Structure 1
Amino acid sequence: MPLGGVIFIVIFIALFGAFLVWLSIKTGGKVHYHPVKYEPYECGLPSLDKKDTKVSVKYYLTAILFILFDIEIIFMYPWATTFREFIASGQGAVVFGSMIFFLAVFIFGLFWEVKSKALEWD
């Protein structure tokens, strides 16, 4: 496409966009800002919660630990599906050893979490 065609398309899109904005301003109603519109709505009842509600750090810690162990499973699945190919190529012992090391780090982390009581909600 020659440069003139690209310029034509850019100008056409800009003019069409400006026309649509102008049309929406002319045909749309006036916006009436009311303070009630900015209040939280829950089933027609006014909200009773404070706006500065604090979420416990234990919640975030549990979420991070869940993501951590979920990623562990994501790493283990491809390893398990391709392990036979590594055995056939003669690299089975090296790949198995690296997975044992990987699991040992995570099992150590799990024992540390239990010992430090990171999973308790007291």
Structure 2
Amino acid sequence: MQTKFETQINKIGPSVSDFLGEKMLILFGENAPAELAEYCLLIDVNAVEDDIKVGDTLQLGNNEYRITAVGDAVKKNLSSLGHITLKFDGSKTPELPGTLYLEETEIKEVKIGDKIQIFS
């Protein structure tokens, strides 16, 4: 198993649940603009060690999700801003460059302190 990215959730914006109906979670580094931070999981900004690929796994807390598509800007945005969207809809084609698409499933509860990892 190769870990490509690791961080943790430091703060959960009060409006994160607004996007659960759309099967989305938004990650952003601690430097998120205030008007966006309320919709985001605020994380430590860390480098992505290798290309993220279809078939890799995203672990969020104790739950694992298979990656189904990767937007062109995911690696760059995650490494520089900590900012990507996680979309749990099973898409095979990335529609948005800053979105990481995951298997279609219910999003399990996340907590402050939960680790986020991407590994192959």
TM score, norm. by length of structure 1: 0.17
Normalized per residue, which structure has more strand? 2
| Bigger RCO (CA 8 Å, 6+ sep) | 2
TM score, norm. by length of structure 2: 0.18
Normalized per residue, which structure has more helix? 1
Q: Specify the structure having the higher radius of gyration (Cα).
A: 1
